[in-house]
Amino acid sequence: MKSLFFIILMSCGLSQKIDYELFESGKRGNHYKIWIYFKDKDGSELINITEETKQRRQKHASKIDNSWYDLKVSANYIRAIEAIGIDIENESRWLNAVSIVCSQKDIEAISLFSFVKKIKPVKGYKKKYFNEININQLDGRELDYGDADTQVEQINAHLLHEQGLTGQGIRVLLLDTGYDLSHDALNHINVVGQKDFINDDNQTANENEFEQNINQDDHGTKILSIIAANSPGNLVGPAFEADFLLAKTEDVSQEWQQEEDDYVAGLEWGEVNGADIASSSLGYADWYSETDFDGNTATTTIAVDIAVSLGLVCVTAVGNGLAIAPADADSVISVGAVNNIGEIASFSSRGPTFDGRIKPEVCAQGVNVWAVSGDSNSEFINIYNGTSASTPLVAGAIALIIQGMPALSPMEVREAVLMTGSMADEPNNTYGWGIMDAYAALSYWSTSSIKNSKSCPVNYNILKTYPNPFNPLINIEIQSTGELITDIAIISIDGHYIENIFRGKISNSIQTILWEPDNISSGIYFVKLINDKNQSLYKKITYLK
């Protein structure tokens, strides 16, 4: 007999008729896999977070460690769901939801719960990562990258290695199919945590004969090697001394279908365990329509935006053919693929997003990329092609940037990477902002983004322009350590005056000016600061319609 508590909870729930056509994308045989979203977090408890997470959030996040996102899903609501004989598959604090597998009758019962906000399918997808296609210690010396030198040097990661940046102390979360650490080039890797979200254990390598037969961990192992291998003369990844969190979220069986909830669970796990960067060579498309790639609809896209708001840099493959989720997020760094001489790969997805934003953000080598061989513990191959291969190169280079400039927020990192790309002056929907330049991005927030027409003023600085690129408006922060009368104007890339947005005195303070363009075209502009001593500064900004 159901308890009075259960009966009360069942009353006054969702009253609208359930549209089962909506749930077809979540159908698994005779059952459905669904998200149950709750109205609140009544009686929820805070999770414990690592010291690394606290420190990262204090520096970068818009949320603090006792935020709403750290409250667990209500235990009362979970017990109510379980009371009708349903097991919880995954639980998401960020979405305030749980995923389950249930019958049509169960959906009807769940819809009556008063605390249920909405019910949505957990959408499946066919994998969009690439397949195999045939086409020393650092001590001030240059590293020997072997045949893989082009993929590292094309994005100027080697110049950061020469400065002593190796990713040391930076925590990287990978979301992929699994990871076999037995290859000689991977023996050194500092793995601080592993989690298998498919089998619900801590074993991310193949753990049974079935997984071995389907090469479950093959893709993830190769992606890990591209970012982290350390085999001088063969393959050295950009971030070979970083710390790694390895999340096994992708099941390569069952007609290559997998669930988005494992991705979200992996991202939440990595964030709360102190990750600085999340890198995923994955994509979600088949169960979405083109209109869903608007930066606000797909479940994984929403999760990525939350992760960035909590201080986590998120890097993902733009896709092979179609710009898909979560690459459509407006805070992510999506990565396209070029060949070894910088030509765009035919398979690299083009933008724009449905709402008109440029994709990808940047590119790196994704054709004939070197990685470890899955058939040997000592051999290497270069037959990998796809935006999956270019993504860990960019993520690894970003680890070096964060090591060199640890105070940067995720959106400042994103701005630096975009505004120093090889096509930053003319971004487009093929290359985005161009091939990444890690060396220039590291310098962006110090000197490379500021140009002086005469002498550099000692008492003024354009601190931030955010978001950049922007639409519809941008914040411009000016810092003064003295007192001068200042004019701030917007100038077009060809030198034409657009408008003056500030004139006044700034004295030993930070002034934020908000600018919303009126009746101008998309493109590159400059913020020009000039004071009464005729000293000037320029900062490049990008306006996107």
Q: What letter does residue 446 receive in the DSSP assignment?
A: I
Strand boundaries in 357-443, DSSP class E: 362-365, 369-372, 380-384
Q: For residue 158, indicate whether it is catalytic.
A: no
CA distances from 168 to 38, 183, 184, 410, 501 (A): 40, 21, 20, 18, 43
Q: Which of 65, 70, 106, 176 is catalytic?
A: 176
| List of residues 6+ apart from 103 with CB closer than 8 A | 30, 31, 32
Alpha carbon distance 480, 507 (integer Å): 6
End-to-end alpha carbon distance in the chain: 59
Residue 60 known to be catalytic: no
In b/e form, how buried is each residue of 172-188, taking b as 16+ CB within 10 angstroms?
Answer: bbbbbbbbbbebbbbee
- All residues at 6 or more sequence positions from 1 whose CB lies less than 8 Å from its CB, including other chains: none
334 is catalytic: no
> 388, 390, 422, 449: which one is catalytic?
388
Name the token pair of 454: 């005469």
> Residue 465 burial by CB count (10 A; 0-12/13-18/19+): exposed, middle or buried?
buried
| Beta pairing partners, 380 | 372
Does a cis peptide bond (omega within 30 degrees of 0) precede residue 410? no
Pairing of strands 277-280, 313-317: parallel
Q: Which phi and psi angles does 282 have, rounded to 5°?
A: -140, 165
Bridge partners (DSSP) listed for residue 187: none
Residue 166 Ramachandran class (φ > 0 left, ψ -120 to 50 alpha, else beta): alpha
| Active-site residue, selected from the candidate residues 196, 219, 261, 334 | 219
Evaluate whether 344 touches 338 at the Cβ level (below 8 Å). Answer: yes
- Kindly list the catalytic residues: 176, 219, 388
